[in-house]
Each structure stands twice: as structure tokens, then as C-alpha cells.
Amino acid sequence: MNQFQYVRPTKQKAAIDAFGREADTQFIAGGTNLLDLMKRGVMNPTKLVDINRLPLDRIDRDKGTLLIGALALNSTVAEHPQVRQLHPLLGQALSAGASAQLRNMATVGGNMLQRTRCYYFYDTAMPCNKREPGSGCGALEGYNRMHAIFGFSDKCIAVHPSDMSVALVALDATVLVSGPKGDRRIPFGGLHRLPGDTPQRDTNLEPGELITAVSIPDNPFTKNVHYLKVRERASYAFALVSVAAALHIENNVIRDARLAMGGVAHKPWRLTEAEKSLIGKLATEATFRQAADVAMQGARAFKHNAYKLKMAPNSIIQALKQAAAVA
């Protein structure tokens, strides 16, 4: 790991000021992804601003929202009574991610900012437009079985690895951000970017902007929810495909629905058209099949990930069935 300057401010403003204008500065919280990338030489910051002493780990209910501090640990949030009661989908998604040890380190803010696990991004001997803009995409014609089926570009076909983010985009969360130019709120769906011509930018955060919290509005999705994660082993692996499904069912009729997928795009992939197709219908497998068809429109596979074109709709159907408790 390269040398870097290390500072540990105790005030939010000091942390943002410490970020300065230096392009190579990074905030560090849990460090579970950043240190991994620094050891491999994928990221080489010259300055780390340790934000762990900032008072940003509270979880509070306020005016019809649940406010989760950016430094709340993944394990804490997953088991928090109000999260389990009000947003069980989020708890399920968090518990499906990483390992118990990593969840004790990883924070909510860091989880949503984790980088792709694309092999070509991680391997500094390979071309990667995300790591080194202009060097090319190794995955495009390479070993692309983990890669995107939606929203990719010819510059990058990587997928976003977070489980938590799939639940948060489904739950209409808002990200609270503080930066050199003040505070702002970003709807969760607008946090992450599609790769386009600038895959080096994962998110719409500006340099020096710090995520301070995520806010989730109250919703009726407290019972019929399911986070389905399909992976190569039963636990502790990134998703091939994951589905966050939330239904509000009355008398077997779907009144409202939320649906999002992970492992299929450069950002957590909200399926709004599929959601619309569910509303007003009976909670049956036939309804879910039709929603899966809608969800898959526009999907396109590469040489090694064509299996996702079947796995994704099947996972949507399965997740909806489990959410609705339909056998």
C-alpha cells in the first residue's frame, strides 16, 4: 500500500474542509472496500480523511421517515428493531451481504459507495475504463459472466455490487449529502450513474461531498417483502442476480409494489414499469410472470452471461412469490 496522509477530524465541517481540492483524497469509514483496493493498487489516494469520529451513526424516526446515519454499521442497521419492523426488506438485503465480520465494519454510507467487483477493474494489468479512463474495457470481449444485462455502454459493462442499495432504491430512499457548497438531498435512484462515456464516475457526488445519512419514508411494505440473492455459494458471495420485492396486498389484490434488481446493471436497477404492471392485479404466479416479462424488456447479454436472461426473470417471479407467500 502506498503512503498517504491521514487525518481524523471530529467535526463534519472539518472533514469536508480536510478533503480540500486534492483529487486523490478519500473519506474512509469502514475501509472494507477502500483498503482492499488500495492494497491492490486499484485506488491510490494520497490523503485519507477518517470520518469515524463524526457523530453520524444515529438511527432516528422523524416525521414519517426513518433516518439512518451514514456511519451506522451494516450489522447494526440489519438488526435494528425499527428497521426490522418498518423496513424488513432493508434488513434482509443487508443480512444477505458480505460476512458477519464485514457487516460489523462496513457502514451504510460506504456500502452504497463500494466499487464494482469486475475482475478487469481489480486487475491492474488489464484494461479498464473505470480504473484508467481510455484504456478500454477488458470485460466487453473478455470473461463477462458476472456482468450487466441492462444500461451498459461500450465503455463499461460492470455491475454495482451492493445488496443494501437494491433495497434502498426500491424503498424510495433519499441520500443526505453535505459538501463544500452546502447540503443537498439526492433521491436514491439518482445517486448512482450509468457508465455512458464516463464509467470512472460511479455516482453523482461531487468531490468533497460526504454522505451524512439516508432517509426512508414510511411505506406499507412491512410484511410482504423478500430479498432474493442468487449466488455461487449459499453465503458470503456477490450476487449473480438479486431481487428486492415489496408488495402491499389487500384481499389478495396488489395495491402497491416495489421491485428492483442487483447484479444486472451499473446501478441498482429499479423496475418501475414492472411495478406498475403489478398494481391492481391478483397476487398470483401469472401476475408475477407478466411483471417479469415487463422487467426484462431491453435486456441484452454478452458471451458469458446469457444465463442471466433466464435467471433474472425467474428470480423476479420467485422473489414476488415469496413476498406474497404464494406457493
Please say which residue, 3 or 251, places its beta carbon nearer to other proteins.
Answer: 3
Eight-class DSSP state of 116: P
Rounded to the nearest 10°, the torsion over CA 145, 298, 194, 122 is 0
In the complex with other proteins, the residue whose CB is nearer, 31 or 179, is 31
Q: Which residue, 106 or 316, is less far from other proteins as judged by CB? A: 106
Distance CA 307, CA 327 (A): 25
**Pairing verdict, β 241-250 and 253-262:** antiparallel
Kindly state the smallest distance separating residue 61's Cβ from other proteins, in Å.
Answer: 24
Q: Closest separation between CB of residue 144 and other proteins, Å? A: 22
Instruction: Work out how close the CB of 244 gets to other proteins at its nearest, in angstroms, rounded to a whole number.
Output: 19
Query: From the centroid of its chain, how far is CA 182?
Result: 24
Residue 154's CB is within 10 A of a number of other CB atoms, namely 12
Distance CA 99, CA 90 (A): 16
Q: Which is nearer to other proteins, 1 or 327 (CB)?
A: 1
- Nearer Cβ to other proteins, position 99 or 252? 99
Cell of 118: 469486475
User: Minimum Å distance from CB 92 to other proteins?
Assistant: 13
Give me the least distance between CB of 116 and other proteins, in Å please.
16
CB 228 within 8 A of CB 261: no
- Chain residues binding other proteins by CB under 8 A are 1-6, 8, 28, 30-32, 35-36, 38-40, 48, 50, 52, 75, 98-102, 104-105, 234-236
